[in-house]
Structure 1
């Protein structure tokens, strides 16, 4: 039981819960923005005022393809906003602050296998090599 309690109180789980809630609210915001601004704007140029009302019927079954167009626009907007305003800046920040790890291996000049920089003999071909100072 203590393991379950530890799992529930873990920081990552709480952060994930917060992210899901914020993501759901953000999704609603983008959907409202799409329905309230983008779709009418496209309707001005395309002649269709509301995509959600676009349907076609086959054998009495009504297909709401306009609702799909609205959802597709919302998805593309959400993905673009998240990429350009969250993922891309965070990638630049992480790249700036992470140090490049220095290589600890090198190539053997005889057999071209990977060996330690400190090695004086290749473990694969047993040829002598000059150790590199680290």
Structure 2
């Protein structure tokens, strides 16, 4: 039972799916930050500016017109950190384990050549003829 579960987990497509979910979740934060802090303020603004740290208020007094570059940078940094952790904690170790498994496998038996097959057929026919002549 545990061997089957281990084989299931070690299959590449399960790991790829897990990585895709984690990366998708992290990328969602980046997209949300860009839309919320860059695009929405542009739509809400009509003009003007007010600079405050990494946030920029396009229209003074209009809180919806704040472009928060810091939040976007934070989301991008979080995405890169999550991607690095997923790669080094999941992808890289599983690749190494799969390579070890492949190295441990012995090559299967070689396919017989045509000469070997013909010799085997000859021997079988000879044995068959000897049995029928008895």
With structure 2 as the length reference, what TM-score do the two structures score? 0.35
With a CA cutoff of 8 Å and minimum separation of 6, indicate the structure with the bigger relative contact order. Answer: 2
Q: Larger Rg: 1 or 2?
A: 2
Which has more helix, going by share of residues?
2
- TM-score norm. by structure 1 comes to 0.35
